[in-house]
Homo-oligomer: A and B are copies of this chain.
Amino acid sequence: MRNKVVKFGGSSLASAEQFKKVGEIIRSDETRRYVVPSAPGKRYSTDIKVTDMLYDCYRAASEGENIDKKMMRIQMRYQEIIEGLNLDLSLEEEFSVITENFKKQIGKDYAASRGEYLNGIIMANYLGYEFVDPAGYIFFGEDGILDAEYTQKCLSERLCGIERAVIPGFYGSDKKGNVKTFSRGGSDVTGSLVAKAVSADLYENWTDVSGFLVTDPRIVDNPEVISTITYKELRELAYMGATVLHEDAVFPLRKEGIPINIRNTNRPLDKGTMIVESTCNKPKYIITGIAGKKGFAAINIEKDMMNTEIGFGRRVMQVFEENGLSFEHVPSGIDTMTVFVHQDEFADKEQNVIAGLHRAVQPDHIDLEADLALIAVVGRGMRRNRGTAATIFTALAENHINIKMIDQGSSELNIIIGVENRDFEAATRTIYDAFVK
């Protein structure tokens, strides 16, 4: 029997109304057998997430405050959902245990995890699925890092015997039984562990957007949704600042070859974005996505005949390494080499780096340029298409945007363009319009 692991984000589970949408989604496809819920998120923009309420309540307890009122408000959030769904379920007992544990201050991670835990209980009851508490199956080592192998073994043994289950996201426990959470957004990590444990055919991540957008909606109005993206493209866009999945969540699935489908709980007919290892699926546009970041500095090193000096590049790199700086790009001309770094990391070390470069390679001239932005234009479709660079640079020229740097390696999956910070938004819009409109 085929199976899908479906994970729902906080906004998909913020209210009874949202739970009903989720219920319909799950029931409409009988292969959606393993459900990973988040804690209830915001119902409206000024609302408070349950997880934040829990943190606040736990802090109050630590300061010796009376937490009854705060706890009651949290309980009300769940009660509203239970009543809205007409469930025969009481969380009284759970809440008294949680309150006791808060007073005992058994751990901040425990506190935070209760949002998912309680939502999981409701979800299991609502769907008629078995509830599986991940505290017994997802384990962290003494170093605080997930014990992937042991988790895999335990989770797999537990889930393979169950046809349908709800496994709350975000947490597990250490070997002593203390609850430990992943970092924020970690419900996807749980989802990926479950998907791997049950050898899922597909991992569905249900959120409040209809997939990944071609570019940042704060820069471009209503950007198009990416229909299919490869892990590689995703990683590239994420690295350049695109807000996508929690990185730890993507890589385990990638390793197993399990595709991810980003879906919108509020628009279940939208196909969302498929994230895949590899695909013959041609992208709708030549480019898959555009992402970028501001705040880079460029160190431009000039020296006659540098290209004939074996070891020149290595010595330059070493200076940056010795100053604890990683570099982003190293475009080079003839007799010139430019190193792009994060400006905030570089600022304090600036003079050390310059002095180090003078010692290491005796340059003729060093020039610094700050306030630069890098934009990555990413797409597997670019490899087949000869006109990509032409389209980008024609559009930028027509919009009077000055290009500070161009970097395209032979992978041909992306072109990196450097512009001034102040041109960043205009450049992003220009490139988007050139390919998508």
Contact = CB atoms under 8 A, between A and B. Distances in A.
Contacts of A307: 239, 326, 328
A235 B334 contact: yes
A321 B318 CA distance: 13
A149 to B, nearest CB: 20
Copies of this chain, how many?
Answer: 2
Contacts of A304: 235, 251
Nearest to A309: B326
Contacts of A309: 326
A413 interface: yes
Interface of A: 232, 235-236, 239-240, 251, 298, 300, 302, 304, 307-314, 317-318, 320-321, 324-338, 367, 369, 372, 376, 386-387, 389-398, 400-416, 418
A397 B313 CA distance: 32
Contacts of A405: 408-410
Interface-centre pick from A328, A387, A395, A396 (highest chain B CB count, 10 A): A387
Given A390-B393, A397-B390, A330 B313 contact: yes
Contacts of A311: 317, 321, 326
A386 B376 CA distance: 19
Contacts of A398: 390
Given A389-B389, A402-B386, A338 B298 contact: no
Given A394-B394, A406-B408, A412-B404, A335 B235 contact: yes
A416 B405 CA distance: 11
A406 B376 CA distance: 14
Secondary structure dominating the interface of A: mixed
A314 B310 contact: no
Contact of A409 (B236, B320, B332): B332
A391 B307 CA distance: 28
Nearest to A335: B235
B416 A333 contact: yes
Contacts of A410: 298, 300, 331, 338, 367, 369, 372, 404-405, 418
Nearest to A240: B334
A333 B418 contact: no
B333 A236 contact: yes
A359 to B, nearest CB: 16
A394 B392 CA distance: 9
A414 B310 contact: no
Contact of A336 (B298, B332, B411): B411
10 A-B pairs with least C-beta separation: A314-B317, A338-B409, A389-B393, A387-B397, A390-B393, A390-B397, A406-B408, A331-B409, A390-B394, A236-B334
Nearest to A382: B403
A331 B333 contact: no
16 contacts: A235-B304, A239-B334, A298-B409, A311-B317, A311-B326, A329-B331, A330-B330, A331-B407, A332-B407, A334-B414, A334-B416, A369-B410, A372-B410, A387-B394, A387-B397, A405-B408
Given A314-B317, A389-B397, 6 more contacts: A239-B307, A298-B410, A338-B409, A386-B400, A386-B402, A387-B393
A300 B411 contact: yes
B317 A409 contact: no
Contacts of A414: 333-334
A328 B337 CA distance: 10
Nearest to A415: B406
A192 to B, nearest CB: 16
Given A313-B327, A330-B332, A401 B386 contact: yes
Contacts of A308: 326
A389 B418 CA distance: 13
Contacts of A314: 314, 317-318, 320-321
Contact of A302 (B372, B396, B411): B411
